[in-house]
Amino acid sequence: MKQLRIARGLVLTMFAFVGAVGIHHSAQARDSDDCEAPVNAWKPRDAVRTMAQQKGWQIDRLRIDDGCYEVKGRDADGRRFKAKLDPVTLDVVRTKREDDDHDGARGRLPDANSGKPPADAPPEGLLKPGTKPQVQIR
């Protein structure tokens, strides 16, 4: 009798675990960048090309991925990009640019004064070894 209770408790625990994992995965699936619109509601590929042309995009490839339109090409500035578009509204769901590297400099423009010290910095530098910085709060 005791073994039956233990087995029943073990089975109920397993069902609870499987249910919790299933709920977790379905919540993650809803948060992804997949599109789930019915195909009969989609706008045609020509509409995607027209929208891209209005944005100044040059399309190299147009395909369907995860229920979304996926566009690869160059943007108005000539940078390579990949974009996922909602097939019904043609809103951009996700974009990825060629310069999206992993050094934390995403999308930053190069500094116009790169390599030059700031205009108000003293020629010998701001700090010398062994000195304490002085701070002024304005």
Confidence (pTM):
0.51
The residues pairing with 69 across neighbouring beta strands, listed in sequence order, are 64, 85
Distances (CA, A) of 76 to 45, 52, 54: 20, 10, 10
d(CA 23, CA 36): 19
- pLDDT per position as a tens digit, 65-118: 999 999 999 998 889 999 999 999 999 999 998 766 544 444 444 555 555 655
**Cα–Cα–Cα angle for 76, 74, 65, rounded to 5 degrees:** 125
d(CA 83, CA 98): 11
The domain limits of the chain are 1-31, 34-100
Residue 83 φ then ψ, to 5°: -135, 140
- Provide the mean pLDDT of the chain: 77
CATH number of 34-100: 3.10.450
Containing 85, the helix (H) or strand (E) segment is: strand 80-85
In this structure, of 40-54, 85-99, 105-119, 120-134, the range with the lowest mean pLDDT score is 105-119
Radius of gyration from C-alpha coordinates of the chain = 28
